[in-house]
Structure 1
Amino acid sequence: MGKQSIDVFGYMNYRAYLHDFYREKKATGRGFSFRVFSRLAGLGSPNYLKLVMDGDRNLTAQMAERFADACGLKGESAAFFCELVGFNQAKDTVERTERFGRLTTFRKYRAAHQLELAQAAYYSNWYLPAIRELAARKDFSDDPAWVARNLLPVITVAEATMALEKLRELGLLVTNEAGRLVQGADLVTTGDETRLIHVRSFHRTMITRALEAIDQLPKEDREISSLTLCLGSAGLKRFKERIQRFQDELLDLSALESDPEQVIQINFQLFPLSQRRNEDDV
């Protein structure tokens, strides 16, 4: 098949890889076509590759192996491609998270996606965002022991050390001219392929923290309440927009704090408790 300039380990979507593979082969390989690829993959349909690239067809595990072979992928590269197919076609978050874990076992993937892995760590540990906010305190210390005992619940010194290193790596904590560790840039977001996994993991963790707060914290230190309402589609949209505007207002208010003392977590949860009305039943 010839040497490729594109690296499969640099991709988080196998269809994007196939698009780039085909484009490169068309540009450098004389007479390469969808029909030629189908012959290499042992396929009867001459345009199967195009259907997969366009998202009109998925790949089975066996077909993924054929595609990897037709692309000239061998060994770890072929195995990674097949895992990437499973990751992209996962049916739910649980399977998607499991598949993502398999991708991270490939050394070349870890080398190509260091920021991706750092972000995964950021969202999977509730105390990383908490420590970043804790740095807004005037008495903040970058001593891991100080950080560990000032979180609620407390964490280990080893966890605090790892968290501080990760926050520095992401540029979320930086050393200022006075030599103090302070908040740096906003979190750099990665592609949608994995961002949703990390964010959902973060939400689950923070919901767990909220459950623990019900039993562990006095009422005056928390605010946990709920409403059960019946809305139409337009009302649901208005409620979501109002929540988003309220979040922006709270962010603006937090920016006015002259002497922040305690890191807090605010969760917003809006979800259905019943099915939508079937219009055929009206």
Structure 2
Amino acid sequence: MKPILEYKDYRAYMQDYYDYRKSHGAFSWREFCKLAGFTSPNFLKLVCTGQSSLSKIKIAPVAKAMGLAGFEAEYFGLMVTYGNATKDSDKKAALLEMERIAREHRVRVVDADAFQYYESWKYPVIRELAPMMPGAQPRKIADECKEYVSAEEVRDILAFLVKAGFLKKDGEKIYSQTEQTVIGSKEALPIAIRAMHKEMGNMAVRAVDRYSASERFITGATLGVCEEAYSRIVEEVSNCCKKVVDIANEYKDLNQVYRINFQFFPCTGKVKEEHHA
């Protein structure tokens, strides 16, 4: 089976372990549970199917039952912490620790890059802005940003963008964009993007008063929907966003960085139909 460092889902790892053992000899859920100290003969099967969760105090016995020790046992514990966490902050902390362990043991993962890229508006904005200002000093780039960023931050961000492959350095302080996009696991990326949505949403609120109507466009509608209407609207907005990107890419003489947000969220709970006698 695959090395544990290639997993993010502890249930998937346990299921693969069980399947591997079973394919190489007599092995049952009853035996697996007994090795891990459970009296229920199918509890671990329920865990693997998502019908139950592995508690913190049972991490070590289950890891030992699967022959895990050292960094592998630690990694398994972090997978359980991630899988059971309900807060984004706890999930992020667990994933970053998993990334650290994987990096130390020479397994390439990109979740840390995803978190760093999305942790602030500064990364995507400077990625767009730097190629428009060939030869510019970090201080000049910082001065063009509407939100505060220091010259030292700009210098560090540019170094990260080049190292991570999001920008290419063509000369002294001359940058161009690459085809590179942020690639992260399906577990990490949603957490990182949620943080960016929150930050860009706050910037949009400030933009209402900061800029004149000729510099910004803000509109909206409040409407009633059903599940089918919701799905159709989401698809339409998604297609619109892609079209906006296509339009921007048609032009070469770019001279400013903009952000476009789409927000479509519930303002009420679902109204249940009442049946009257």
- In the superposition, the TM-score normalised over structure 1's length comes to 0.85
**Which residue in the other structure is 2:242 paired with?**
248
Give the one of 99, 111, 116 matched to 2:111. Answer: 116
Secondary structure at the counterpart of residue 168 of structure 2: strand
CA contact (8 A) 2:113 2:182 kept: no
**Which residue in the other structure is 1:233 paired with?**
227
1:240 shift after superposition: 1.9
Paired letter, 1:193: E
Residue deviations 1:34-88 (CA, integer Å, cap 9, x gap) = 2322121111223332222222221121222321222233354434322321211
Following the alignment from structure 1 to structure 2, what is the Cα–Cα distance between the partners of residues 179 and 157? 13
**Which residue in the other structure is 1:224 paired with?**
218
1:136 shift after superposition: 4.5
Secondary structure at the counterpart of residue 220 of structure 1: coil
Deviates further, 120-129 or 57-66? 57-66
CA 126–281 in structure 1, closer or farther in 2 if over 3 Å, else same: farther
**Which residue in the other structure is 1:22 paired with?**
18
Paired letter, 1:126: W
- In the superposition, the TM-score normalised over structure 2's length comes to 0.86
Deviates further, 95-104 or 34-43? 95-104
Give the one of 179, 185, 192 matched to 2:186. Answer: 192
**Which residue in the other structure is 1:60 paired with?**
55
Deviates further, 125-134 or 68-77? 68-77
1:121 shift after superposition: 0.2
Following the alignment from structure 2 to structure 1, what is the Cα–Cα distance between the partners of residues 213 and 63? 58
Give the one of 82, 92, 100 matched to 1:100. Answer: 92
Count matched residues: 273
Please state if 1:81 is matched with 2:79.
no
Following the alignment from structure 1 to structure 2, what is the Cα–Cα distance between the partners of residues 75 and 160? 39
CA 240–178 in structure 1, closer or farther in 2 if over 3 Å, else same: same
Give the one of 39, 42, 65 matched to 1:70. Answer: 65
Unaligned ranges ≥5, structure 1: none
1:248 shift after superposition: 2.0
Following the alignment from structure 2 to structure 1, what is the Cα–Cα distance between the partners of residues 131 and 85? 40
Paired letter, 1:144: P
Could you tell me the percent identity over the aligned residues? 29
Following the alignment from structure 1 to structure 2, what is the Cα–Cα distance between the partners of residues 78 and 124? 29
CA 276–62 in structure 1, closer or farther in 2 if over 3 Å, else same: same
Following the alignment from structure 1 to structure 2, what is the Cα–Cα distance between the partners of residues 79 and 142? 46
CA contact (8 A) 1:80 1:103 kept: no
CA contact (8 A) 2:110 2:183 kept: no
Unaligned ranges ≥5, structure 2: none
Following the alignment from structure 2 to structure 1, what is the Cα–Cα distance between the partners of residues 79 and 136? 39
Secondary structure at the counterpart of residue 181 of structure 1: strand
Following the alignment from structure 2 to structure 1, what is the Cα–Cα distance between the partners of residues 215 and 252? 21
CA contact (8 A) 2:30 2:41 kept: yes
Pairing of 1:141-152 with structure 2 (within 5 A): 141=135, 143-152=137-146
Deviates further, 175-184 or 127-136? 175-184
